[in-house]
Amino acid sequence: TRAERLSNLDNAFALTEKPPVKRLLLFDDVATTGASLQALARAFISSEQTVTINAQSHSNYHISAYALAHGSQS
């Protein structure tokens, strides 16, 4: 199910270093539930939440996600 797929991907991705850009394009070959793209986007979002309170500027990522094909959930 969609809920199972989402929970399977909890903490599936982690950044080893922050990208030097803030505008990101994510691609997936087949999107059935969108869970993979959501989990990957969460890795970037959670990395932004670790910015220290004393940071001079805080700019969020602008994330766009695309899939090449849509699969069925049957």
pLDDT in tens, 9-44: 888 888 888 888 888 888 888 778 888 888 888 888
Q: What is the 3-state secondary structure (H, E, C) of the chain?
A: CHHHHHHHCCCCCCCCCCCCCCEEEEEEEEECCCHHHHHHHHHHHHHHCCCCCCCCCCCCCEEEEEEEEECCCC
Question: Considering the entire predicted model, what is its pTM?
Answer: 0.66
